[in-house]
Structure 1
Amino acid sequence: MALSLDRPGKPQFLALGYFDDEIFLRYDGESQRAEPRGLGIKMDLGAETWETETKALKEKELQLRQLLTETVGQQGQGPAQHIKKLWETQGPRADLVKDFLCVTCPAQLWRYLASWRGLLENTDPPSVTVTRSKNLLGKVILRCWAFSFYPRAATLTWLRDGEPMHEGTFGPGASLPSGDGTYQTWVDTRILPGEEQRFACHVGHCGLNTTVPAVSETQGQSASCAAAPAAAPLAVSTVAAVLCLVVVEA
């Protein structure tokens, strides 16, 4: 993305790389460095990879800045025809765009996937903690918290007398990034005091499949569960990635 005007705290040029919906690369016109972000922090791609990305994105930044400057400069001069001519003569050629989308980009993505294959086939099973607290109305709030897990897909379900609760539970509704390449999520429910023994939290993840009671039988307090391998084998899904360059006039 290239912007025609400076804005406080926002670079004029920004490039982000995503693996599915998770960022792994960032480059901006201020730092002029391609750096790992999110999932990329956990992946050792080597200094050479980031040097190559930096060089390529510097060239893209220069191209977009020049094109944007010339496009903005045509305004006020009966711009439609001028901009059309400028785009036809200096804009991206269809054959080059096709070559990038069909050859260059897929080859680059396959190189990334080859570097990440070992990590993508591994899992970090969640650690799970169940806590209890009281709200101002005297009800007990049970929270089931799963954290430090990978990949992202995980389900938390409160059980009452062994049956899933489909109403009366609250949480983010999705797994959230923890900032270190792993994820976390939680689900709450409100119950009457003295009913804790009826409730348990079921955790489903490719690295862990377990049920944690709301009250530990040994402690009578909040319970926790250390991560342990799941019995089911891990299924690795095919992933896709998309690179998009957008020119925006501020």
Structure 2
Amino acid sequence: MAVVESQGLEVVVAHHDRATLRIGDVFLKIDTDQARADVEIDAMERAPIPTPEILWRRPPVLALAALPGAPLGRLGEPSSASPAAWAAAGAAARMLHDAPLPPQSGSGIEELATELDTECRWLATHGVLPSDVIARNRRIAETALRPWAPVFIHGDLQVAHVYVDSDKVTGVLDWSEAAQGDALYDLATLTLGHSEHLGDVVAGYGAEVDLDMIRAWWSLRSLRGVRWLVEHGFDPNSPGCEIDVLRTQALRA
């Protein structure tokens, strides 16, 4: 959703679940699900990487200080960030994944498999994608449904949530999905739609990474996300976004 400006007030994002407003150097996150806000605050306090300063909290509003720098990129747009900045994001992800586990458990294999089945059925029923594209991506996605050693994951490590300045990570936003999960899910989320920077991220991460598993998560995240995006007023069909990723993945397969 485009940023709307009015008398110094910016609506950064707004959908059925929550909204984020910016007034000067302060971000106001409005979320009626206080359990989700509790997870976000706890995760930011535990994370060993830079996060926004919590200014105050008065439910349902959480006030956060703005981060210096700019987002690493935007889904559907070319990133102007340097390879060094992408590597720094990979290094930050590794630092997070090496940290002690948070208390929240993320989605398990059975839950993800059920959700994958449901979303593939919805995509086919509504004619969002050709059946062969759905089937090929489903086969790719299913390979991600295997046991993994849980780590502290951000859970929604989109490029827009990672701020950089002078090739250094200055902070990471939006921790409400933080949990125990698969490290490769974070790396896949970070590089979704920006596959050209996967090598930079892996180099910064500094550990052996199964690239095929990251591609599997690209398919799984995209298949799971299309309906949510449509129902919340976003366009997953924009160039470089989820549907574009699914088409590219099907051609690769």
**Shorter-normalised TM range:** under 0.3
Q: Looking at secondary structure, tell me which structure has more helix per residue.
A: 2
Q: Looking at secondary structure, tell me which structure has more strand per residue.
A: 1
The higher relative CO (CA closer than 8 Å, separation ≥ 6) is in 2
TM-score when scaled to structure 2? Answer: 0.26
**Larger Cα-atom Rg:** 1
TM-score when scaled to structure 1? Answer: 0.26
